[in-house]
Amino acid sequence: MKTNPLLLILALCSYLSYSQTIPVKKIEINYLGGSYPLSFAKTNNAFFFTAEGNGLARQLYTSDGTSEGTKLVKVINETRPENTYINNLIGFENIIYFTANDGINGIELWKSDGTEQGTNMVKAINETHNDDYTTAPKELTIYNNKLYFSANSNAYGWEVWVTDGTEQGTTLLKDINTGSESSSPEGFTVFNNELYFLAGNAEFGKELWKTDGTEQGTVLVKDIKTGSENGASGSLVASGNYLYFTANADDYFNPGSVQGNELWKTDGTEAGTTLVKDIALGPASSMTNLSGLDLNGTLVFTAYTLEAGNEIWKTDGTSTGTVLLKNINNNNLHSISSLNLYIKFNNEIYFLADDNINGIEIWKTDGTTSGTKILKDINTSPDYSSVNVFKFHVDEVNNKLFFYGKNNNQAENKLWVSDGTENGTKNLADLIQPDIYSPTNYFITFKEHSYFSGKNDKNGVELYKSDGTAENTKLLKDIEYSSSSSPAKLINVNGNVFFRGTNEASYGNQLFKSDGTKEGTSLIKKIGSNSNIDDKSEMVVINNKLIFSAHNNSDGFEPWVSDGTESGTFMIKNIRSDGSSLRNSNDIQTFYAANNIAYFFANDGEHGFEPWRSDGTENGTFMLKDIRTYGNGTGHEQIGGSSWPKDFIDFNGTTYFIAFDTNASAVWKTDGTKEGTEKVFEHPNIGRLLKVNQKLIFAGYNNGSLFWESDGTEAGTKNINLLPFVNLVNANTIHLENDLFFVSRLENISNRFGLYKTDGTESGTILLYEGLNHPTLDEVVIKNLVECSGFIYFELEDYYGRGTAELWRTNGTLTEKIDSDTGIYEIIPTCYKNSLIYNTDSPNTLKAITENNNQSIQLNLEITNNADFSEYSFLYNFTSSGDYLFFTGRTDLSGEELFSTKIDMQVLSTETVFTNNQNTKEINIYPNPSSNYINISSQLQINNYALYDINGKLILNKKVNAKLEIKIPTNSIKKGLYILEIQSMNKTIRKKVIINK
């Protein structure tokens, strides 16, 4: 006989825990991370760059200019992504070439079409598989539809290689320095349809070479410095009919020919390779590396002379046509540094110069002396400040010049744009220059926009786009936002959860609030920089306001108050002007709430730590009494002057506490006034003050007695006999009705503990659970006591972290195990809508024990806003506020953030929902499974029925007028398992039904 699978599900649900999917919202408040986009290059249909994101070190990304089309291409080194070392990007048609390390072959040449499948290594050239990024192929240059580059191999050293993009088509061009010695080719530059570069060998030293792409056509242009000494050096720049470079032809055996490093040119022939001019006369050098650009056939460049220093020059290739363009500094000081930037924009050359008046600013030249002038004095600060530009970028599409610079109103370099005029040079956006000091590009123009790396306070260093206008300058995509807000200390304040966290604007731990939605989650107030909320200390709520410990970077740790608004969040009182009045972040500062007053201990610098109170106002915050006067004024941590008040308890409308005066410990009481603060009675050694069954209980040894009870008067205080071996001083305690539940050691057994309850009498002090001889836990630890719906829930775990934690509960009469299959070391429970919620071994699930039920329901968590919990996420900090359950979790992209969910515990309730009892006298549902309709026959008058799907979604909801029979059509409802809820008079009955079509 075949079994209907839906009937099998129904049968199993009678015995197994029920599972339901619960939607969860990620409330992200810290986007600050930074993917640090770098090394931009483009192909015909996309641009590429490297970035850090998705929990990975720097990887290859591509973009079509949209946020959706901006994505990770491939994780090349899966074993150690941090060692991928992607660099040297260059685009050709629809392919990007770059260098990378896959963790197997070392750093080699790769190519990509923008897809994971189309991203592959071209060829393994270096046989040693070297991970050293200094051995990566370099000088990648496109020439005659092929890629030329310098690569290192064991057989040839550093030489020129060429590829057509295939492994077979990747070959050594020529072994210039034969054998395993390197020629170290560099400066690849295309000129007159040939590729020029500098290379050296044992015969000629480093000189100028060229190639037509064949081994035979790869030849020395000229041995400038005859013999094996190096002649040529630095960069190559093509301008007009010549290729310019720096060279030194000095013959030290002929002093008359010593000219130093000077400007040379070549037309590609040996005879046409000559000195342009000895600019710095005699043995001095005018340059060590050529820095310049072509301007309509004229080379504009930097040169040094003793008379003028480093200045801007120009040449047409002749000696007479090589002249100082302008002495900008007008003396022998340098106006142009060795780090100068030259860029061509609007048929002019832009560069940085210092005229000894305005500091280093942006200049431009049209090749004439009169046309060489400052673009704009951007940084006009009186202290001779500079604009601090590190890179220029020309957007030819929108005819704009982009750069990061600084003016006198900006503490950091911000994004600027220029159209080439003074008025058109302006601060474009409040974006900060990325803190990337790299020679690689962080700008590129692709189609209608420029894309670049920028930084703001919210997103960190990320990818932006602009057409040169302020309105169209915006974030393209926040690739990396994994910085955690680390929400903690969650507490309900009048229907909102307050918590400490951090985001891009908070600069350390600050106070936030949330109503359970992203829109309703915000930083309440930035108290100060760095970490400001005292993380270890307690918080209390009085009068719908939060009282907590914080510092604002100037006044130390003091009491603060917040009503959830910025104006209503302030330091209540600066109790101590020369430091912290409260315990600092290395100690726990306790606060107590009683009768709408917060009680705490504080040190004003004169009286030691004494009892204080606050109603949240400055006038209502004062010391109640200087109880221990001995040692006053002897220092912030001087114990001699402190009474160390603790255990403030509201008892019959009066607040009682323990404090230490000069003689001994004592029980004190206060009505919240100085006059109403008085000692009730002394006791040699009071360890703990508690309230049980309408009386005060305190633990303290005196005359052989360990425990005492009191009605709040000295006369009404007497010793009592509880179990003599129990310890209430350090006990984990919780109340249920008139009983006190606590954890203490077992009789005559050290390091073994049990759960007890007491009503304050010896006969009423009962062992509820004995933590001894557990079948799987060697040394049982009892912890995390939570009261929920008439039960005290508690956790059993192994002291050494072995085995699986168990969830138990007791109501003082029945003590039972609820869940032993948790799979986790520590259970963190919370009470939410009279149901217990706790974590599991999976970050994607919680468990629930609903009211009047002793079986767990699994809650499958589904983040609704495009995220998944990290594999390593641990859910904790459970707090309920209003209709929401809040907790802390982690995703790979967002880090540790705040999450919220609403759970319909009524739908989850298992009291009658999941029993499948067809024989109940009150109600009958048929047919079940159903195809077209469901009949309800009841002995009770039905007022309303509702149908929910397995995810808790409402499908049907209809009011009826006191009927005993109902027919519900189901032919339009999808096949599946549903919950039918029937409301009859004051009773709600729920049944599982199956629609099977």
- Residue-wise pLDDT for 349-372, tens only, equals 999 999 988 989 999 999 999 999
Which of 10-14, 59-63, 529-533, 946-950 is predicted least confidently?
Answer: 10-14
Total domains in the fold of the chain: 1
Going from the C-alpha of 27 to that of each of 493, 788, 873, the distances in angstroms are 18, 27, 16
Burial letters 479-493, b for 16+ CB under 10 A, else e: bbbbbbbbbbbbbbb
Predicted TM-score (pTM) of the model is 0.67
Q: What pLDDT does 297 receive?
A: 97
**pLDDT reported for residue 635:** 43
Q: Picking from 55-59, 376-380, 807-811, which range would have the lowest pLDDT averaged per residue?
A: 55-59
Q: Is the dihedral of CA 485, 487, 493, 495 positive or negative?
A: positive
**What is the chain's mean pLDDT, rounded?**
87
The residue count of the chain comes to 997
In this predicted model, what pLDDT tens digit does every residue of 45-81 receive, in sequence order? 999 999 987 667 889 999 999 988 999 999 999 888 8
Kindly indicate the confidence band of residue 204, based on its pLDDT and cuts at 50, 70 and 90. very high
Count of other CB atoms within 10 angstroms of residue 35: 26
Residues 6+ apart with CB under 8 A from 442: 37, 38, 40, 391, 434, 436, 452, 453
What is the per-residue pLDDT across 651-660, written as a single tens digit (0 to 9) for each? 999 999 999 9
- Residue 920 is predicted with a pLDDT of 47
Looking at residue 836, what is its pLDDT? 95
Residue 537 scores a pLDDT above 60 = yes
pLDDT at 342: 95
C-alpha span between 918 and 937 (Å, rounded): 11
pLDDT tens readout for residues 586-633: 688 999 999 899 999 999 988 889 999 999 999 999 999 999 887 654
Sorted by sequence, the CB contacts under 8 Å of residue 361 that are 6+ apart come out as 352, 353, 354, 355, 374, 375, 376, 377, 378, 379, 386, 387
Round to whole Å and give the CA distance between 603 and 612. 9
| Average pLDDT of the residues in 459-473 | 93
pLDDT exceeds 70 at position 640: no
Mean pLDDT of 638-657: 86
pLDDT band at 997 (very low <50, low <70, confident <90, very high): low
Lowest mean pLDDT among 126-130, 254-258, 641-645, 973-977: 254-258
pLDDT tens column, 134-181 = 788 999 999 999 999 999 999 999 999 999 999 999 999 999 999 999
Q: What is the pLDDT of residues 230-243, one digit of tens each?
A: 999 999 999 999 99
What is the model's pLDDT at position 585? 63
Strands (E) located in 917-975: 923-926, 933-949, 954-969
Q: Is residue 955 part of a domain?
A: yes
Backbone dihedral angles phi then psi of residue 549, each to the nearest 5 degrees: -105, 135
Question: Does pLDDT of 950 surpass 80?
Answer: no
Structural domain contains residue 972: yes
What CA–CA distance (Å, rounded) separates 112 from 169?
16
For residue 795, name the pLDDT band (cuts at 50, 70, 90).
Answer: very high
Q: How far apart are CA 861 and CA 870, in angstroms?
A: 13
By CB atoms closer than 10 A (0-12, 13-18, 19+), residue 560 is buried
Instruction: Tell me whether residue 938 is in a domain.
Output: yes
pLDDT of residue 913: 37
pLDDT (average), residues 639-653:
86
With a cut of 50, say whether residue 7 has pLDDT above it: no
Q: Return the pLDDT at 17.
A: 40
303-307, 531-535, 630-634, 860-864: the lowest-pLDDT one: 630-634
* Dist. CA 387–CA 746, nearest whole Å: 75
pLDDT of residue 705: 57
Q: What is the CATH number of the domain that holds 982?
A: 2.60.40.3080
Query: For residue 944, is it within any domain?
Result: yes
Which pLDDT does position 481 carry in this prediction? 76
User: Residue 253 — very low, low, confident or very high, per pLDDT cuts 50/70/90?
Assistant: low
* Highest mean pLDDT: which range of 26-30, 206-210, 477-481, 514-518: 206-210
pLDDT (0 to 100) of residue 587: 81
d(CA 88, CA 98): 5
Contacts for 570 with CB less than 8 Å, ≥ 6 apart: 560, 561
pLDDT at 901: 94
Relative to beta strand 591-594, strand 510-514 is unpaired
Residue 638 forms part of a structural domain: no
Residue pointed to by tokens 């590129």: 444
pLDDT of residue 777: 84
Task: Say whether pLDDT at 14 is over 50.
Answer: no
Cα-atom radius of gyration of the chain, to the nearest Å?
A: 40
Domain span at residue 969 reads 916-996
CB atoms within 10 A of CB 467: 16
Peptide linkage before 927 cis (omega within 30 of 0): yes
Amino acid 704: pLDDT: 52
Q: Which of 439-443, 783-787, 895-899 has the lowest mean pLDDT?
A: 439-443
Query: Considering only CA atoms, which of 994, 732, 886, 742 is closest in space to residue 26?
Result: 886
- Please give the Cα distance from 590 to 286 (Å, whole number): 73
Res. 449 pLDDT band, cuts 50 70 90? very high
Predicted confidence at residue 611, as pLDDT, reads 97
Q: Residue 722 pLDDT > 50, yes or no?
A: yes
> Among the listed ranges 265-279, 784-798, 895-909, which one has the minimum average pLDDT value?
895-909
Residue 637, pLDDT above cutoff 60:
no
| Over residues 632-652, mean pLDDT | 73
* Within-domain flag for 931: yes
Confidence of residue 910 (pLDDT cuts 50, 70, 90): very low
Look at residue 437 in the predicted model and tell me its pLDDT.
Answer: 58
Nearest to 729 by CA among 710, 746, 742: 742
pLDDT in tens, 671-702: 999 999 999 988 878 888 999 989 999 887 65
CB-based contact 469:426 (threshold 8 Å): no
Beta strands in 348-487 (DSSP E): 348-354, 360-365, 373-376, 392-395, 400-405, 414-418, 426-432, 443-446, 449-456, 460-466, 474-477
Per-range mean pLDDT, top range of 394-403, 532-541, 868-877: 394-403
Q: CB–CB of 423/348 below 8 Å?
A: no
